[in-house]
Structure 1
């Protein structure tokens, strides 16, 4: 069976829409409407529970993704721009006005920030000379985060694709569909938990049913997903870029 090119499908849909408009205008007829799922991957016709299952499976099967937006956790709001894959991730995090870069390759996690980030953790004036010297040493360097440091568990989760997506893509409450939408020029079907209070998720109707936009329950952040399956370099920083601070990081 010969596949119909995507462009031809869109042109056919446009032609059907134009014909319907002529019929309604010229003959006063109603009931002629375009199928919103024409030319899509078909998940828009499925029940919300099946859509949830399919988008979760699609996200789990692909190796790489980029996510950006905000996540509220532990009473703090984190702004993320991360690229993730199965063996690590890299990207930027901003919390309470402080920004830093995370890099995880395998089990090794690195944190890079400027000197202000390391000065008493908030960059305020009045730090001791030793604190200032330590902060200057760490300025712009990849600092190895010891696995036993509290920061390791806290920040490594931002670089763990399976852990992060497994938590984020869960909607709470009864699932339902909330119509056809569009995200970054891609047609989507939206599903909700408890009418939206349990979160909303836009799922791609083009290609594989990847999740494209998530609004978390309870105002706990909004995230966009892109670059599904697009590989990227993930390498250990060089010795000249790295500082090994020891078993525990300075307070930050």
Structure 2
């Protein structure tokens, strides 16, 4: 066996000690080499699920605006939404049963805008086959003001009400728990669930204000993305030239 020179023995021992110290230090800082997923975040990810839910609901309530897009299933009907909402109204598009229309609410005034095919189809479903083409042509591409006492007002105004809509959507059902760290459009999130996901799931931003960013509703009742928190947008009633007074109860299915 070839003997190792004393000087080399000392160098080997020193290198080994330095490596051991480095490994020990890294383990102490990162937990045996793994990165802390909450490092550099708003810290919400370290909180209990119930606390996270309370914080994200408060953040949503305090925000002046939000954009909500995705699907909602209500009473067996699937609605595809793309709505921008604020405290005094909202605007955007809704698609249901193959028909698309736009909604605009400013204060208590609700307007509905759709093409002639939409109006003709609604008239036909209600048994009105006489003169429906003329009425549909009159309404096409125009904002129709919905009377507050009309059933359609109650049916559609909820899609334009930020507080009502978010309050009804953001709740999870069952026992709350966290379900790991995720990412939505490049933003790190913490996911909370109800009853291990069967009661819904909500991704909450770990960057800045803990806004809710993605909601998977319980019972396969839809998936919604929530974006543009706090980004203002214009909201005003259409001009008289763009508006039609229907003059009677709106045709709705």
Normalising by structure 1, report the TM-score.
0.86
Aligned to 1:66: 67
What is the deviation of 1:23?
4.8
3-state SS in 1 of match to 2:174: coil
Aligned length: 226
What is the deviation of 1:130?
1.0
What is the deviation of 1:123?
7.3
3-state SS in 1 of match to 2:163: helix
2:195 is the counterpart of 1:203 = no
What is the deviation of 1:247?
4.0
Cα distance, 1:127–1:151 mapped onto 2, change above 3 Å: closer
2:97 is the counterpart of 1:96 = yes
In structure 2, C-alpha distance between the alignment counterparts of 1:141 and 1:222, rounded to whole Å? 30
Deviations 1:15-34 (A, max 9, x none): xxxxxxx959xxxxx82221
Aligned to 2:143: 142
2:246 is the counterpart of 1:245 = yes
Asked if the contact 1:117–1:123 (Cα under 8 Å) also holds between the matched residues in 2, the reply is: no
**Which protein has the larger Cα radius of gyration, Structure 1 or Structure 2?**
2
Cα distance, 1:123–1:31 mapped onto 2, change above 3 Å: farther
In structure 2, C-alpha distance between the alignment counterparts of 1:40 and 1:194, rounded to whole Å? 26
3-state SS in 2 of match to 1:236: coil
In structure 2, C-alpha distance between the alignment counterparts of 1:122 and 1:134, rounded to whole Å? 9
In structure 1, C-alpha distance between the alignment counterparts of 2:129 and 2:108, rounded to whole Å? 34
Normalising by structure 2, report the TM-score.
0.85
Asked if the contact 1:120–1:251 (Cα under 8 Å) also holds between the matched residues in 2, the reply is: no
What is the deviation of 1:180?
0.2
Asked if the contact 1:116–1:122 (Cα under 8 Å) also holds between the matched residues in 2, the reply is: no
Moved over 4 A (4+): none
3-state SS in 1 of match to 2:122: coil
3-state SS in 1 of match to 2:233: coil
Aligned to 1:108: 109
Asked if the contact 2:119–2:139 (Cα under 8 Å) also holds between the matched residues in 1, the reply is: yes
Asked if the contact 1:110–1:144 (Cα under 8 Å) also holds between the matched residues in 2, the reply is: yes
* RMSD value, Cα: 2.0
Structure 2: runs of 5+ lacking an equivalent: 1-21, 25-30
Cα distance, 1:164–1:132 mapped onto 2, change above 3 Å: same
Cα distance, 1:251–1:175 mapped onto 2, change above 3 Å: closer
